[in-house]
């Protein structure tokens, strides 16, 4: 039998609920607006963001929202989804007078 000579370490996250842990994970994996261009096509990052969000909704007893995000996560992984165009690079003629 293995015995440790080191004192048992306290779990630094023990005070957080499962939902709070999931929310922290979702926040950590969320793609920030300033990083959007850099990671917009990163399938792993997109899938992680959606899967973490799905877990939050599942823990909040919102299965429909969880399922939608899980499906998006799968879509990133199986390549059936791709990044939408940047909203700031939309129609360049929008708002101009074209008489």
**Per-residue pLDDT, 27:** 97
CA pair distance 74, 28, nearest whole angstrom: 20
pLDDT, the chain, mean: 85
Reference 57, options 11, 26, 94; nearest CA is 26
Prediction pTM value:
0.74
What number of other Cβ atoms are within 10 A of residue 16's Cβ? 13
**Per-residue pLDDT, 6:** 55
Q: What is the pLDDT of residues 23-66, one digit of tens each?
A: 999 999 999 988 988 898 999 999 999 999 999 999 999 999 99
Q: Are 29 and 52 in contact (CB under 8 A)?
A: yes
**Per-residue pLDDT, 94:** 47
CA pair distance 46, 69, nearest whole angstrom: 11
Read off the pLDDT of each residue in 11-31 and give the average, rounded to a whole number.
94
Pick 80 or 11 by higher pLDDT.
Answer: 80
Which pLDDT band holds residue 85 (cuts at 50, 70, 90)? confident
End-to-end C-alpha distance for the chain, whole angstroms = 86
Percent with pLDDT over 90 in the chain: 60
């Amino acid at each position: 039998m293995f015995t440790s000579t080191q004192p048992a370490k306290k779990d630094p996250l023990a005070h957080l609920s499962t939902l709070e842990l999931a929310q922290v994970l979702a926040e950590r994996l969320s793609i920030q607006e300033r990083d959007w261009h850099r990671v917009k096509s990163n399938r792993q990052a997109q899938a992680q963001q959606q899967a973490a969000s799905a877990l939050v909704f599942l823990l909040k007893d919102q299965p429909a929202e969880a399922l939608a995000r899980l499906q998006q996560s799968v879509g990133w992984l199986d390549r059936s989804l791709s990044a939408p165009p940047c909203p700031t690079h939309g129609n360049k003629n929008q708002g101009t007078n074209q008489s």
